C-alpha cells in the first residue's frame, strides 16, 4: 500500500483535495498501484513549528 506524507504549512481543504487527487493519479499511472491502496497524509505545521537556517519561520516573518 503506497503511503505518501506531505509536511507543509496549513493549506485549504480545496488545495489538499486537489493535491491528493493529483498525487493519487500519479501513483496509479507510474506505479500501477490500485487506487484504493493509495493513502495520502497531510501533516501541517505552523510557523512556530518550522525552522530554517537555525531560525523559526515565525521569527523571520516577525522581522519583516
Mean pLDDT by groups of 10 residues along the chain of 64 residues: 95 98 98 97 96 95 91
CATH 3.30.429.10 assigned to domain 3-63? The reply is: yes
E strand or H helix that includes residue 3: strand 3-8
Q: List strand residue ranges (DSSP E) for 9-63, in order.
A: 39-44, 51-52, 55-56
Cell matching residue 51: 525552522
Cβ atoms within 10 Å of 31's Cβ, excluding its own: 11
pTM of the model: 0.82
* Residue-wise pLDDT tens digits, 31-42: 999 999 999 999
Q: State how far the Cα of 8 lies from the Cα of 46, in Å rounded to an integer.
A: 8
Q: State how far the Cα of 53 lies from the Cα of 57, in Å rounded to an integer.
A: 10
Amino acid at each position: 500500500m503506497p503511503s505518501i506524507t506531505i509536511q507543509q504549512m496549513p493549506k485549504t481543504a480545496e488545495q489538499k483535495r486537489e493535491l491528493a487527487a493529483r498525487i493519487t493519479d500519479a501513483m496509479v499511472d507510474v506505479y500501477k498501484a490500485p487506487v484504493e491502496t493509495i493513502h495520502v497524509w497531510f501533516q501541517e505545521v505552523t510557523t512556530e513549528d518550522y525552522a530554517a537556517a537555525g531560525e523559526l519561520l515565525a521569527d523571520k516573518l516577525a522581522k519583516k
